[in-house]
């Protein structure tokens, strides 16, 4: 039986969802959380929609078995492939999903006609959900969707600050560097982080571009929606003490939650 003091369940294809969990904790510091990272199957972006739905179903059933009062799909790829399926299957559950922050990137832009780079996995880039989202705002901005499949495995390997990530991003983002820096000259104003692993490499993305940009992270909207849905269902915690976090992972090593713990403890600047 769920109650106000039941935990909020959060799942991802790996450790990327930790970037969402830290914002949820900031917004709702007295809530308890259970995080489930399916690292053994990461990345989801190179798998079929049918397979992604199966893996998401496994994750959500694990969280329900641990008493979760709400589910946060902390993965853009999983959202694109499985959110509708999961909501239809678990009709009475509170299921909150991710959405790449294209709308705030356009609506909050300093320039009247902004240039927006959207980085995401292959699955998200080619999915209907993102295509529809970009279509809604393409008249008011130049939007450049770019698949960045190499980031997830490097973050999953704990290499979010490494020569490997720098080399990968320098090659990937070459078209968006200044011409005097050997780039293609297509300068962007902002970058939409269309995968929950990507907030861990924002400094490396900025370095690879060679100039400052504004980053937009859909986790803030997801956190607000989670809080709204819980309030609507009268399920926000009534606890006045800081909540606890339980971490679970399918990673095949001797300390499967070590990377998740390290990432969760990294300092970050809260930018709602």
User: Which residues participate in catalysis according to the annotation?
Assistant: 75, 195
Q: Which two tokens stand for residue 140?
A: 């008011």
Q: Which two tokens stand for residue 137?
A: 């705002």
* Distance of alpha carbon 220 from alpha carbon 232, whole angstroms: 18
Cβ atoms within 10 A of the Cβ of 213, count? 18
The DSSP result for the chain, as a single string, is ---TTSPEEEEESSSTTHHHHHHHHHH-TTS-EEEEE-GGG--GGGS-HHHHHHHHHHHHHHHHHTT-SEEEE--HHHHHHHHHHHHHHTTTS-EE-----HHHHHHT-SSSS-EEEEEE-HHHHHSHHHHHHHHHHTTSSEEEEEE-TTHHHHHHTT-SSSHHHHHHHHHHTGGGS-GGGTS-----SEEEE-STTGGGGHHHHHHHHTS--EEEETHHHHHHHHHHHHHHTT-S----S---EEEEE--SSSSTTHHHHHHHTS------
Distances (CA, A) of 35 to 87, 94, 267: 19, 16, 19
Q: In the sheet that 115-120 helps form, which strands lie side by side, from edge to edge?
A: 142-147, 115-120, 190-193, 214-217
């Amino acid at each position: 039986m769920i109650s106000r003091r039941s935990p909020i369940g959060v799942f991802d294809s790996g450790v990327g969802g930790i970037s969402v969990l830290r914002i949820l904790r900031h917004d709702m510091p007295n809530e308890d959380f259970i995080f489930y990272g399916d690292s053994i199957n990461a990345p989801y972006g190179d798998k079929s929609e049918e397979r992604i739905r199966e893996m998401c179903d496994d994750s959500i059933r694990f969280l329900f078995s641990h008493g979760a009062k709400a589910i946060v799909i902390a993965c853009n790829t999983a959202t694109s492939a499985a959110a509708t399926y999961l909501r239809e299957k678990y009709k009475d559950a509170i299921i909150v999903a991710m959405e790449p922050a294209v709308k705030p990137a356009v609506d909050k832009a300093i320039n009247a006609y902004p240039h927006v780079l959207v980085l995401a996995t292959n699955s998200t880039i080619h999915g209907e959900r993102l295509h529809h989202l970009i279509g809604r705002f393409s008249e008011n901005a130049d939007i450049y969707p770019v698949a960045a499949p190499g980031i997830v495995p490097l973050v999953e390997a704990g290499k979010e600050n490494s020569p490997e990530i720098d080399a990968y991003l320098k090659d990937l983002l070459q078209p968006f560097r200044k011409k005097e820096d050997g780039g293609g000259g297509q300068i962007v104003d902002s970058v939409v982080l269309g995968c929950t692993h990507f907030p861990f490499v924002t400094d490396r993305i900025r370095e690879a571009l060679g100039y400052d940009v504004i980053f937009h992270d859909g986790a803030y909207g997801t956190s607000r929606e989670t809080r709204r849905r819980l309030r609507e269902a009268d399920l926000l915690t009534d606890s006045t003490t800081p909540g606890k976090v339980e971490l679970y992972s399918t990673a095949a090593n001797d300390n499967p939650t070590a990377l998740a713990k390290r990432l969760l403890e990294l300092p970050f600047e809260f930018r709602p």
